[in-house]
Amino acid sequence: TQKLAIFPLQLVVFPGENLNLHIFEPRYCQLVKDAEENGITFCVPTVINGGLLPIVTEVRLIEVANRYPSGETDIK
């Protein structure tokens, strides 16, 4: 059994899609740090009309494009 971190967003991530995100919440900044340092993947569940569906896309961090003094990041 594999455990995956969950990063809920108000969007659907399709397999093979490239996604650019600005990360600013501390818990997700920590998730990005863990992904960068440990190579972990995480999942983005499908959220439609505020409801969480039992469908997720496993994603991996490709690049931290920008780092801000506040701890925020732009990732790919």
In terms of C-beta distances under 8 Å and separation of at least 24 residues, what long-range contacts does 5-9 make, across chains too?
Answer: 5/31, 5/34, 5/40, 5/42, 5/43, 6/42, 6/43, 6/44, 6/45, 6/56, 7/31, 7/42, 7/43, 7/44, 7/59, 8/44, 8/45, 8/47, 8/52, 9/44, 9/47
pLDDT digits (tens), the chain, 76 positions: 677 898 988 888 888 899 999 999 999 999 999 999 999 999 999 888 888 888 889 999 999 999 999 999 999 9
Nearest-5° angle of CA 56, CA 16, CA 42? 40
pTM recorded for the entire structure: 0.83
